[in-house]
Structures are given as C-alpha cells and as structure tokens.
Amino acid sequence: MFDSKLSFLILLLLLPLSSSSTSSSSPQAIESLVKRLDTQRPSPLLQESAAKALLKRLLPTHLSSFQFKLISKDACGGYSCFWITNYQNSSNKSPEIMIQGTTAVEIASGLHWYLKYLCGAHVSWDKTGGIQIASIPPPGSLPPVKEHGIMIQRPVPWNYYQNVVTSSYSYVWWDWERWEKEIDWMALQGINLPLAFTGQESIWQKVFMDFNISAQDLNNFFGGPAFLAWARMGNLHAWGGPLSQNWLDQQLVLQKQILSRMIELGMTPVLPSFSGNVPEALREIFPSANITRLGDWNTVDKNPRWCCTYLLDPSDPLFIQIGEAFIKKQIKEYGDVTDIYNCDTFNENSPPTSDPAYISSLGSAVYEAMSKADKNAVWLMQGWLFYSDSSFWKPPQMKALLHSVPFGKMIVLDLFAEVKPIWESSSQFYGTPYVWCMLHNFGGNIEMYGVLDTLASGPIVARVSENSTMVGVGMCMEGIEHNPVVYELMPEMAFRKNKVHVEEWLKVYSRRRYGKTVKQAAEAWEILHQSIYNCSDGIADHNTDYIVKFPDWDPSLDNYLSFSKQSLITKHINRRHVLSEVKSTLPQPHLWYSIHDSINALKLFIEAGKDLSGSLTYRYDLVDLTRQVLSKFANKVYIDAITAFQHKDAKALKFHSQKFEELIIDIDELLAADDNFLLGTWLESAKNLALNSHEKQQYEWNARTQVTMWYDTTRTNQSQLHDYANKFWSGLLVDYYLPRASMYFKHLYESLRENKKFEVVEWRKEWISYSNKWQQGTKVYPVKAEGDALEISKLLFKKYLE
C-alpha cells in the first residue's frame, strides 16, 4: 500500500477528475455522429465479456475480484465515462470492486485507473519494461474506493491512435499474439479511435483486378512489407516488393482478427479509403482518364523503377468509381464496422494549382467517393500538410479544402500540436472539428525526449479556448515502444478536464513504475522532467546523433569555426518558438538540455540500483538513460576527431576516432544486456512470418534495409533517407555503425599520413558496398539479453563520465 504522503499526491491528481460537471460544446453534427456510432456497438454482454477477457490476460489472479458492467451515458451525465465503486454486499467469494463504463474501452480504462492510482501498478509495452503488478494486493485485500466511488468523464469524445506510417515502422512483422497485446494496451489507455490499416493490399488486389489490372501489374505497384506505408501514399512503388499471395492472405486474416477485437471492446476503427494512388497500367486501360505522373520522392537519381508514381485526379469520374468500389469491398470483407475513413491525398503532394475553387472540387470528389459507398462516411485527414507544406496551404487554400465537405463530415488530426499547433493559427481549422495530437517520434528512433508540460496543458488550453472545435486527443507517433512516461501521460489527457501538475504526477509515476519509492529514482525523475522531458526549442526531434546518423561530408572543405556553432537558433515571438536556420555544413544533433543534468540523473539512477536491480522497468530506464548520455558524449568525441583532422594532427585524430569507435562497442555491450534493445528481435520477427525460403530472404532484407539505408543507392551515393529509421540496437551498432565510422576515420587518417586530399567518394564506395552486403546478409543475432545491465552501466559511467 502507498504511504500517506504519496496518497495525498494521488488525491491531488484525482481531485480535478471526480466532478461530474464536465462541460463541453461538441458541434451538433459531431454529437449526431457519436450517437450513431454508439448505436452500432456490440451488445453489453459481448463488451463486458471482452473486458473480462482482457482482465484475464492482464491479471488472471484477480479475475473474480472485479465486476464489470456497461452503463448508458445518461448514468454519466451524458458523457462517456467510467465509474469505479466498491462492490455491494461483498463476501469472501464475491467481487471487491465494481467498474462500470459506457463501453468496454471505458471499463478497461477504469480498471487501469484503479490499478494505477489505488494499487500503485504500472502498465507499459513489453519492450519498455512491461508491467509492474507486484504492488497490487492479493485477492480479498484490494483497497476500497471512497463512498460514492470515482466517476471520470471524457471531456471530448475521442482518443485517437496511430500514424499512417506506424504500420511500417512498428507493426509490420507482428502476428496476432503481439496485436492482441497492443489492443489490450490501447483499451487500458482509453483509445477508442484507432487506425486499422493492416491487410489493405488484399482489398486493393480485389478492387484493381475488377478494373482489369493484372497481378503482375500490382507487383510493380505494391511496396515490400517494410515499405507499404509509403507505397500506399504514392511516395514510391515496388521498393522491397513484390508482395506474395501468402503475405496478402495472411494480412487479411490478421486484419479481420484486429477489427473483431477492436469492435468487441467498443472501439471505432478508422479504415483506409482511396487517395488517388493507382498502378501505371490503369493509364492503358483507361487512356482518357486524368492520370498524372508525380515527381520524385527521395530517390538518389530519380530512378523510375521506384519513383514517380501515378495519381488519378479526384475530378475524374473514375476516381469516384474506384473509391466507391474500395469501400464497398471493405464492407463486404469486414462488415459495416465504421463510418470513419482516412484519406491523405495531398500528403507531401501539392495539388496542381492553388486555385481555391479547384481545391474545393478535389475535396468534394474525395468525399463523394466515400459517401457513395457509405452515406454516413466521415473523412478523417492528417493535418500534416498544413505544417510540412505551409507555403502552399495559405488560409484560402486551407478553407477551400476544409469546407469542401458538409460540416461534421471531416475531422482533422492536428498532427504536431505539441510543437506546432495549427489550430491556433487557423481559427480552429476554420470551424472544422479536429483532434489535438502528439507526433513526438520520427522513424521509430530511440531517443529519450518529450514535452511533458505541454502534454499536460496543451489539450486543455485547446479545448477551453474560444469557439473550440476540438473533439479529441491523439497520439500520431511514427514509431512506438520507447519513452513510456510520454505514452502514459498523453492518453491520460483524454480523461483530464484540468491541467496536470507534472511534478506531482511524476512522483506517483516513479513509485508505480518501479513498485516502490526509491529516493534516488524520484530525484532522477525530477531532473529528467526539467531537462530531457522539457524540450521547448520548437525543433522536431529526430535522432541524428553521430553514432546512428554518421555525417556524409568532407571536413576538409570547411573549418571548425563554421560548424561548431549551433545550427539552429531559437527566436521568441509572441511566447512561441519560431525557428531560424543558420547554414552549416555539418549536421548538428539535437540537444535541448544540459548534458550535466542528464549525467546527474544517470548517477542517481545507478545509485537506485541497490534497491531496484530486479525490476525490469528500472533496467529498461537505466539502459536507455545510459545509452542517451553516452551517445551525446560521443557527439563531442566525434567533433574532437574532426577538429584534429582539420588541424592536421594525425595523433589526436587517431586517439579521438578510436575513442569514438570504443564508445560504439561499449554501448552495444550495454544494449545487449536488455532484451528490449536487440536487433535480433526485429529480424527474427520478420523471418517468422515467412512461409518459404524466398519470403524469408525478402522479409529479412526489408527489415535490415528499413533501419539502415532505407532507400536506393548508387555506387557513390547513399540513400537520401539513410538512417532515417536508425535504431540503438545491439548488433546494429557493432556490425553496421562501427564499420562505417572505422572506414571513414581510416580514410581521414590516411589522407593526413600520406599528405593527400581526403576523398569522401572513396569512403562512400567502400561503405555503400559494405552496406549492400550487410542488407543482404543472413547472420543470426541474439534475441535474449546477456550481461548485467547495472554493472555495465556503472563501469561505463566510471570510464567515461566520472
């Protein structure tokens, strides 16, 4: 049980939530949509059974300790809610706690809330340490709630989840066992509006064949398994493919399992719709159709084998025919499971003209393709385009697109609201309902990073702002299974009507995550809150530390003074951060906090090991923080090596370059001591989906390529996307990042020793050749940890930081 001081902190956290007077002003059209979706949910019995099954998977020892019951919104003051009370007439054999909710998701959220704030438990992804349930009292001894219970309402209808590329960066190799765990996690976090993109290629195969497109044509259209997200968006075609019929059939079966479970729990899945991306062969079958070939997207030399896909103009009648056919085919396969469909026709792809009338007609056509198949269709659109292509999407163009469909028939994801909220500068998306989203992660990179204070206040500020059209909160990260503190606080904001006091919240979080109060761990989290998890420079965080994104440049063409300064300067305008670029030859890794602070936090974490060495959640955090500190330290060592080269000091270059390489080896050993930082897990999960040797080889190549070179190369040019999806994984460091650095420093050293020009092209040739062979390799990497993470962390701290 918690001590009295911690119980007081929990009371502070819960007080703003106990009131039943939550106010919200959802537009009438959205209220009608919510009511319609409510009527389509499974029966109370089915949802209660689904929630009970989740409890059995999570906490089988306490299956009889809880009673679940579905209730109407009327019982919750007209809102979605969960209500935790003591079970009446409790006896030794009867349940102890009653959890009621408006859907099974609300029941699961109530269960999670009870376990967190009354039992001190913690639930995170397996790959971020898993669950901590040792603090939960045994059956018969669960702590009671206050007399009238705890009722917590949703201030906004939806809690959205996923980015359109998460399916490739994180989910691509998942089987049903892993998906089942994820859907359980989603329900516990209160997620009720998840993207459901798995298996859509099987639907597209059926649709396009009805339009006389052959299987061979589709081989050149679909991307490989690890690159499907970008093939779906029309960024590329064929890269990593073709897709086997086995893959298509497997993924369709998996999607039906995913949808079935989501629906049982009362979620509303978001299905894909037609964005205009079509196979090249469609031009020959429909020669009069308005089909345009798009420009290049990140190939090295505009290679048409991979680039320059084809877009069917939404104004063409064929667009509506194909769009209608696709949604009808989904309904035939899955049943009538949703009215909400995602479409991002203009994602990183501007319309051919900025004429508002034309843009409005395009938007109308996109929606018509949905609504002809589903009269109640609602278009859910990522708002990324308004940030990434802001020079095109000025107010007239934004209004034209947003107002091209009936009000309430479009919902926008304010995708990057924690850093660049569009709702503020667009008058609430000009009256269009939107979801306040956190993007947070790019490429599934592993980096400790967050904006906790913004997460704890941003959704509240948006919801209570004048004329607010906010209808939900969401998480739109490109990759998952990192930064568990961020992914616990953010979904909790779906149930918060007031701002969270992060400092107090973190004290409870630390206790729950490790199962006990440890002074050093709590103090470390205080530091992390004010440093690593308090980024306020307005920069999108993408891990570009030199170990994992080694610079491809010639340092002899520049001098130290020109790149040693910060390449990004932050200006403060109207209390918001606006970036001003300063040109620099050498890419600058993102550093938004004091290195000294992170070292102090690590020292405290190591000291906490005497009390927490057996905790898996502690071990994950220890390894992650040690990795982070050493990675930033390695950036300085790299600069020292480059400075030595520019000063023509061969001895110093050799010293610092060897130190950089030694850091890579040492960090790899550290990562090898935790199951969650292993390359082998990623590769084996890919191979495990294969049904024959050819698929096994193809899937492994896809898996290796995505996390390294990503896209195409030439003999002398790396992929433009190399290291976009970099990972700090044991095996990847010593067998990929280490040889790259060693080759580079070898060429630098030889140029000084032999007094000749450094030839960066020669390094590229050697490195790209190595990378190609590694991507095609079949070396088996461990899937189980080896070594003592705490002892390794202690040794590395003493070696490099003390």
Task: Write down the number of H helices and E strands in the chain.
Answer: 31, 19
- Tokens 């004329």 map to which residue? 467
For 467-520, the pLDDT digits (tens) are 999 999 999 999 999 999 999 999 999 999 999 999 999 999 999 999 999 999
Q: Residue 414: beta bridge partners?
A: 436
Say if CB 533 and CB 450 are below 8 A apart.
yes
Identify the pLDDT of residue 347.
74
- Torsions phi, psi for 771 (to 5 deg): -60, -45
- Distance separating alpha carbons of residues 621 and 484, to the nearest angstrom: 9
* Sign of the dihedral defined by the CA atoms of residues 593, 596, 601, 602, in that order: positive
Nearest partner of 590 among 562, 560, 570, judged by Cα: 570
- Tokens 């040109």 map to which residue? 583
DSSP string, 771-793: HHHHHT------SS--S-HHHHH
- Torsions phi, psi for 766 (to 5 deg): -65, -45
Q: Tell me the one-letter amino acid at 373.
A: A
Strands (E), 542-591: 568-573, 576-581
- Distance separating alpha carbons of residues 758 and 777, to the nearest angstrom: 30
- Distance separating alpha carbons of residues 455 and 298, to the nearest angstrom: 33
3-class DSSP state for residue 541?
coil
Say if CB 557 and CB 641 are below 8 A apart.
no
Say if CB 232 and CB 172 are below 8 A apart.
no
Distances (CA, A) of 631 to 424, 560, 651, 734: 36, 21, 23, 14
- Distance separating alpha carbons of residues 479 and 165, to the nearest angstrom: 8
User: In this structure, are strands 434-438 and 568-573 parallel, antiparallel, or unpaired?
Assistant: unpaired
- Distance separating alpha carbons of residues 41 and 336, to the nearest angstrom: 11
Q: Which mean pLDDT values do the consecutive 10-residue runs of the chain (802 residues) have?
A: 46 43 53 93 98 98 97 96 90 88 98 98 98 97 95 97 97 98 98 98 98 96 98 96 98 98 98 97 97 94 94 94 98 97 84 92 94 97 92 96 95 97 96 97 98 98 96 98 98 98 98 98 98 95 96 84 38 30 69 97 98 97 98 98 97 98 98 98 98 98 98 97 98 98 98 96 98 98 98 98 92
The 3-state secondary structure of 280-328 reads CCHHHHCCCCCEEECCCCCCCCCCCCCCCCEEECCCCHHHHHHHHHHHH
Say if CB 711 and CB 719 are below 8 A apart.
yes
Q: Residue 580: beta bridge partners?
A: 569
Under 8 Å CB-to-CB from 189, ≥6 apart: which residues? 109, 112, 159, 487, 488, 491, 492
Identify the pLDDT of residue 2.
45
Distances (CA, A) of 599 to 536, 596, 634, 736, 798: 20, 5, 14, 27, 11
Nearest partner of 257 among 337, 354, 319, 144, judged by Cα: 337
- Torsions phi, psi for 571 (to 5 deg): -105, 145
Identify the pLDDT of residue 94.
87
0.85 exceeded by pTM = yes
User: In this structure, are strands 277-278 and 310-312 parallel, antiparallel, or unpaired?
Assistant: antiparallel
Distances (CA, A) of 123 to 56, 133, 485: 15, 8, 11
Reading the block at residue 669, the tokens are 């050993």
Instruction: Classify each residue of 601-612 as buried b or exposed e, where b means 16 or more C-beta atoms within 10 Å of its C-beta.
Output: bbbbbbbbbebb
Reading the block at residue 501, the tokens are 């006091």
Say if CB 124 and CB 487 are below 8 A apart.
yes
Instruction: Classify each residue of 374-390 as buried b or exposed e, where b means 16 or more C-beta atoms within 10 Å of its C-beta.
Output: bebbbbbbbbbbbbeee
